C-alpha cells in the first residue's frame, strides 16, 4: 500500500468519527467513497485505485459503528426506587479523589451494593472534605447518601454534565452525607508517586507556589490546584501551562537526550522510552500526553535508526492509533487542542519564521511558536466557550523563559523527590522566587482591562472555514507568487464574511428572551445590542449558568440588572456576576435594604429603586414594575407582552383591582412558579404562552390553560426556554438534540 493510500485511510477513520453525531454521516462516507472510486481514478491516474477509494468509504462508514461499540452503555438496572432517597451504598473507589469548587471531594465509585441489593454501576460521587481525607483509589468504602440523575445542559449550547459523565462510564450521581473506610487498606499505585512529588514540592516552595509547580509538571488533572489560581491562568491564556501536554513532553525528552548525548544511541533510546512511559503514567495517561509521547517515541526511534521523521505523517499516525485505542477521545477537548496545536506548529511556524527573517532566530522562534499555537487553537476555543484572551500571545511571550525554567526545574525536582523527598524539596526551593515572579506577572495581566473578551460561540461551519483559511495560509508556499496573494486575500475575505460579520450582526441585531430553569424566575433579555438581566437566585446559578450563557452570546457588559429577590444568596449571585460583567444600571423592585445598598451600589454606575408603574426603555424594549406584593414585572418586546410573576397571592380576586391583567392588545407570555395561580387570573390575562418554573402543573391550572389554547412549557422538563424573533420559541432539550456536534 502506498503512503497516499495510508494517509487517506487514516483520514477516513478520523473523519468518520467526527461525523458520528451527524445523522446519516456514516452513509455519506460510504456514498462519497463509492463516488470517488468511480470518478477520481479517471482524472488522477497516478493516485489510488478504485479499490482504495472504496475502502476509504468503508473505513469511514465502520468508524461510527466502532465508536458506538466502544461507547459505555448504562447497565440494565432499575434504580428508580432508590433515586432521591437516603441509601447505604458499598463500593470501590476507581479514581483519585479531587476537590470541587464547592469544597467537597469527588471521585468515581464502582457501586457493588445498594442497601442489601447487589448491583454493578459506576457513580459520580461527592463527599464531605474531612470525611474523604486520606481516601485513595482501590479503597473499599461505605457511603450513606442520596442517588440522583446527572443533569443535562441547563442552557442552549451549555455544558452537558450527563453526557460528560456517560462518556466516562458513570450514569448516576451519589451525594454522600457520611463516608466510612479503613485507612490502613493495602493499596498502592501511581497516586502514591504523585503525592510523594507534590508533598516534596510543597514542602520546598510552600503554598501556592509548590502546588503551581506540581501542576506545571504533572498537569492540573493530577493536582488539586486552587480554583482561583486556575481561573487566572485560564483568563490570561496560560491554561496549557497547567495541562500536561506536548510542550512538557518535548521539554522532558529534550532534557533526557541532552544529558545522554555522549552515550550510545541504544542507551539514548532506552532512556527516552523509559522517561516517556513514566511521565505518561504519572500524568494519568492523558490523551494529549499520550499523543506527544508516541510522537516522542518516533523521534528517539528515528535517532536510533538514523531516519528522519516526517512530523505530519507521525502526527496523523499517532492520532489514528490513539483513536483506535479509544475512539471516544475524539470528543476530548485536551486531545483536540493538543492535536491542533501540534499541527499549527508544523504548518505555520516555518511560514512565520520566513516572515520574521529580519529578526534574530531566537527571537523569531520565540514569536512564531506561541503565535502559531494560538492561531490553531483559538477557533476551537471559540466553538466551545466563545471567549478570547486578548493578551494571550503577549503573556506567552513574556513568560516563555520563566515557563521553561520552572517546568524543567520542577521536573528535575520531581525526579529527585521520587528517590529522596527531602533532597527534592531542597532542589525545588531554588524555584521559589521565579515562581513568585511568574504568579505576579499573571496577577498583573488579570488586572488589566479587557483581559477576557466574550465574542460568542461559533458554529461548526464557521470553525471549518477558519481552519480552511489556515490551510490556505500553509498552501501558499506551494504555488506561485500570484497564487499566494490571491489565496491569502480569498482566505481573509472568507473569514470576515463567514465568521466576523455574522458574529457582529447577531450581537447588534439579536432580539431574544431566555427564561432559565430557576426559582425564583431568572430572565435574560437581549434586544439589538442591549442586554438586561432580571434577577439571579444565587451564587451557583450565576457562576455555572448565567456567566457561561452570556459568554457564549458574546456579552461583555449588562446594560441593566433588575433584582426581584433581596435574600443574601441572591446578593452573592449579583456580586459574582459583577466580578465578570460590569452592570451599567442596577434596579431593585421595592424598598432596598442597607445590605443591598452597601454591597451592590458601590459596584455599579447607577443604582435605583424601581417604583410601581415606573418605566424603563431601551430601543424597542420597555420594562415596568406593576406590583410589589406580590411582585409583577412587565416587559414588552417585538409586540409581545411578558409578565413575570413572583411569589403567591394570585387568587381569584387578584385581577379585580389590577387593570394590567387584561391583554391590552398584545400577545402575552406568562412566567410564574407553576403554583398558586387561580383560573380567574389565567382567564383574565389570556396568555398565549405560559412558562411554568416547575416539573409539573396542577391539573386545575393545566385545564384552565388548555381551555384557552395556551402553549405550555415546563422548565423542569424542557429546561431553559428561549424565544427568538426569527425562530420563535424553543427549548434547551430541542437545541441539545439538534446541536450536539462533537468536533
680: domain CATH number is 3.60.15.10
CA–CA distances in Å: residue 663 to residues 67, 160, 486, 639, 670: 53, 38, 59, 12, 11
Average pLDDT value for the chain: 86
Q: Quickly state the pLDDT bin for 479 (edges 50, 70, 90).
A: low
Same domain, 496 and 549: no
Q: How far apart are CA 191 and CA 602, in angstroms?
A: 47
Same domain, 586 and 703: yes
Asked whether the beta carbons of 396 and 375 are under 8 A apart, the reply is no
**Considering its fold, how many domains does the chain have in total?**
4
Same domain, 28 and 169: no
pLDDT confidence of residue 739: 45
- Nearest CA among 721, 673, 731, 724 for reference residue 698: 673
Same domain, 581 and 727: yes
In tens, the pLDDT along 177-193 reads: 999 988 666 666 788 88
pLDDT confidence of residue 738: 47
Higher pLDDT, 736 or 290: 290
Higher pLDDT, 143 or 630: 143
The model's pTM is 0.86
C-alpha cell at 295: 510522537
**CATH number of the domain within which 149 lies:** 2.40.50.140
Task: Give the CB-side neighbour count of residue 226, counting CA atoms within 13 A.
Answer: 9
Placement of cell 464574511 in the chain: 497
Helical H runs in 133-189? 161-167
- For 94, the domain range is 84-185
In tens, the pLDDT along 595-629 reads: 656 667 777 777 788 888 888 888 889 999 888 87
DSSP run (H or E) holding 728 = strand 728-731
Q: Does residue 40 lie within any of the structural domains?
A: yes
Q: How far apart are CA 272 and CA 254, in angstroms?
A: 9
Q: Which of 470, 487, 507 delimits the end of a domain?
A: 507
Strand order in the sheet with 631-637: 615-618, 621-628, 631-637, 640-646, 667-672, 689-692, 711-714
Q: Does residue 24 lie within any of the structural domains?
A: yes
Task: List all residues 6 or more positions away from 577 whose beta carbon is below 8 Å from its beta carbon.
Answer: 533, 536, 542, 546, 547, 558, 561, 583
Q: Quickly state the pLDDT bin for 466 (edges 50, 70, 90).
A: confident
Q: Quickly state the pLDDT bin for 370 (edges 50, 70, 90).
A: confident
Same domain, 529 and 570: yes
Same domain, 100 and 43: no
**Is the pLDDT reported for residue 104 higher than 90?**
yes
What residues are paired with 689 via a beta bridge? 669, 711
Q: Does residue 406 lie within any of the structural domains?
A: no
Q: How far apart are CA 263 and CA 268, in angstroms?
A: 7
The phi, psi pair for 39, rounded to 5°, reads -115, -45
Q: Which runs of E-coded beta strand occur in 505-660?
A: 511-515, 523-527, 530-534, 558-563, 583-589, 606-610, 615-618, 621-628, 631-637, 640-646
Q: Quickly state the pLDDT bin for 484 (edges 50, 70, 90).
A: low
In tens, the pLDDT along 507-551 reads: 888 899 999 998 889 999 999 889 999 998 888 899 989 999 999
Q: Does residue 116 lie within any of the structural domains?
A: yes
Q: Does residue 76 lie within any of the structural domains?
A: no
Same domain, 608 and 662: yes
Same domain, 581 and 501: no
**Is the pLDDT reported for residue 591 higher than 70?**
no
pLDDT confidence of residue 144: 95
Same domain, 661 and 686: yes
Q: Does residue 486 lie within any of the structural domains?
A: yes
In tens, the pLDDT along 43-88 reads: 887 878 888 999 999 999 999 999 999 999 888 888 888 988 899 9
Q: Does residue 54 lie within any of the structural domains?
A: yes
Q: Which of 134, 167, 185 delimits the end of a domain?
A: 185
Same domain, 623 and 479: no
Q: Which of 166, 185, 204 delimits the end of a domain?
A: 185
The helix/strand/coil state of 73 is coil
Q: How far apart are CA 179 and CA 183, in angstroms?
A: 12
Q: How far apart are CA 454 and CA 558, in angstroms?
A: 13
Same domain, 483 and 530: no
Cα-based angle 396, 398, 403 (whole degrees, multiple of 5):
65
* Average pLDDT of the segment spanning 135-150: 92
Asked whether the beta carbons of 491 and 476 are under 8 A apart, the reply is no
Same domain, 25 and 163: no
Q: Does residue 594 lie within any of the structural domains?
A: yes
* Average pLDDT of the segment spanning 717-730: 90
The phi, psi pair for 323, rounded to 5°, reads -75, -20
Amino acid at each position: 500500500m502506498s503512503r497516499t493510500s495510508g494517509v487517506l485511510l487514516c483520514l477516513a477513520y478520523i473523519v468518520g468519527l467526527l461525523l458520528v453525531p451527524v445523522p446519516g454521516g456514516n452513509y455519506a462516507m460510504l456514498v462519497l467513497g463509492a463516488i470517488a472510486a468511480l470518478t477520481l481514478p479517471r482524472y488522477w491516474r497516478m493516485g489510488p485505485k478504485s479499490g482504495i477509494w472504496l475502502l476509504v468509504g468503508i473505513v469511514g462508514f465502520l468508524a461510527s459503528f466502532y465508536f458506538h461499540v466502544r461507547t459505555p452503555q448504562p447497565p440494565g438496572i432499575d434504580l428508580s426506587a432508590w433515586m432521591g432517597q437516603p441509601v447505604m451504598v458499598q463500593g470501590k473507589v476507581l479514581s483519585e479523589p479531587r476537590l470541587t469548587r464547592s469544597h467537597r471531594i469527588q471521585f468515581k465509585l464502582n457501586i457493588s451494593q445498594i442497601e442489601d441489593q447487589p448491583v454493578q454501576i459506576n457513580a459520580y460521587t461527592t463527599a464531605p472534605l474531612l470525611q474523604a481525607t486520606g481516601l485513595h483509589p482501590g479503597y473499599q468504602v461505605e457511603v450513606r447518601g442520596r442517588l440522583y440523575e446527572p443533569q443535562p445542559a441547563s442552557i442552549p449550547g451549555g455544558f452537558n454534565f450527563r453526557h460528560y459523565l456517560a462518556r466516562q462510564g458513570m450514569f448516576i450521581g451519589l451525594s454522600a452525607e457520611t463516608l466510612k473506610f479503613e485507612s490502613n487498606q493495602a493499596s498502592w499505585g501511581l497516586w502514591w508517586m504523585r503525592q510523594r512529588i507534590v508533598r516534596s514540592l510543597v514542602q520546598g516552595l510552600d503554598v501556592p507556589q509548590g502546588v503551581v509547580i506540581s501542576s506545571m509538571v504533572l498537569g492540573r488533572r493530577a493536582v488539586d490546584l486552587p480554583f482561583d489560581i486556575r481561573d487566572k491562568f485560564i483568563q490570561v491564556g496560560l491554561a496549557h501551562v497547567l495541562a500536561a501536554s506536548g510542550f512538557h513532553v518535548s521539554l522532558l525528552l529534550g532534557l533526557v537526550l541532552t544529558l545522554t548525548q555522549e552515550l550510545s544511541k541504544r542507551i539514548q533510546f532506552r532512556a527516552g522510552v523509559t522517561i516517556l512511559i513514566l511521565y505518561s503514567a504519572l500524568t494519568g495517561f492523558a490523551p494529549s500526553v499520550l499523543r506527544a509521547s508516541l510522537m516522542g517515541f518516533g523521534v528517539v526511534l528515528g535517532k536510533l535508526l538514523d531516519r528522519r521523521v516526517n512530523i505530519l505523517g507521525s502526527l496523523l499516525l499517532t492520532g489514528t492509533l490513539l483513536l483506535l485505542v479509544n475512539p471516544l477521545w475524539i470528543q476530548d477537548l485536551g486531545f483536540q487542542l493538543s492535536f491542533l496545536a501540534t499541527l499549527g506548529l508544523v504548518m505555520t511556524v516555518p511560514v512565520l519564521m520566513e516572515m520574521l527573517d529580519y529578526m534574530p532566530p531566537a527571537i523569531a522562534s520565540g514569536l512564531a511558536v506561541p503565535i502559531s499555537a494560538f492561531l490553531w487553537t483559538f477557533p476551537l476555543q471559540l466553538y466551545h466557550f466563545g471567549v478570547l484572551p486578548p493578551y494571550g500571545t503577549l503573556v506567552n511571550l513574556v513568560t516563555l523563559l520563566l515557563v521553561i525554567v520552572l517546568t524543567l526545574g520542577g521536573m528535575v525536582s520531581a525526579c529527585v523527590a521520587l528517590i529522596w523527598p527531602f533532597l527534592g524539596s531542597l532542589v525545588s526551593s531554588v524555584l521559589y522566587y521565579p515562581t513568585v515572579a511568574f504568579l505576579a506577572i499573571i496577577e498583573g495581566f488579570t488586572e488589566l482591562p479587557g483581559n477576557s473578551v466574550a465574542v460568542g460561540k461559533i458554529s461548526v461551519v464557521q470553525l471549518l472555514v477558519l481552519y480552511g483559511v489556515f490551510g490556505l495560509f500553509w498552501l501558499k508556499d506551494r504555488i506561485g507568487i500570484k497564487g499566494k496573494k490571491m489565496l491569502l486575500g480569498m482566505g481573509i475575505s472568507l473569514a470576515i464574511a463567514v465568521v466576523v460579520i455574522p458574529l457582529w450582526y447577531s450581537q447588534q441585531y439579536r432580539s431574544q428572551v431566555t427564561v432559565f430553569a430557576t426559582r425564583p424566575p431568572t430572565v435574560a433579555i437581549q434586544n439589538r445590542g442591549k442586554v438586561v438581566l432580571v434577577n439571579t437566585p444565587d451564587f451557583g446559578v450565576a457562576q455555572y449558568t448565567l456567566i457561561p450563557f452570556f459568554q457564549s452570546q458574546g456579552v461583555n457588559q449588562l446594560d441593566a440588572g433588575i433584582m426581584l429577590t433581596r435574600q443574601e444568596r441572591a446578593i452573592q449571585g449579583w456580586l459574582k456576576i459583577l466580578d465578570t460583567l460590569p452592570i451599567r444600571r442596577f434596579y431593585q423592585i421595592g424598598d432596598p435594604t442597607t445590605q443591598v445598598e452597601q454591597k451592590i451600589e458601590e459596584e455599579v454606575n447607577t443604582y435605583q429603586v424601581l417604583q410601581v408603574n415606573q418605566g424603563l426603555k431601551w430601543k424597542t424594549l420597555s420594562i415596568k414594575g406593576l406590583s410589589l406584593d406580590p411582585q409583577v414585572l412587565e416587559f414588552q418586546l417585538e409586540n409581545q407582552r411578558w409578565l413575570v410573576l413572583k411569589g403567591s397571592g394570585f387568587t381569584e380576586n387578584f385581577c379585580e383591582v389590577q387593570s394590567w391583567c387584561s391583554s391590552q392588545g398584545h400577545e402575552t407570555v406568562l412566567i410564574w412558579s407553576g403554583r398558586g395561580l387561580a383560573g380567574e387570573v389565567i382567564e383574565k390575562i389570556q396568555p398565549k404562552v405560559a412558562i411554568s418554573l416547575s416539573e409539573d402543573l396542577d391539573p386545575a391550572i393545566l385545564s384552565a390553560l388548555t381551555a384557552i389554547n395556551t402553549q405550555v412549557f415546563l422548565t423542569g422538563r424542557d429546561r431553559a426556554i428561549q424565544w427568538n424573533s426569527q425562530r420563535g420559541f424553543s427549548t434547551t432539550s430541542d437545541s441539545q438534540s439538534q446541536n450536539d456536534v462533537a468536533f
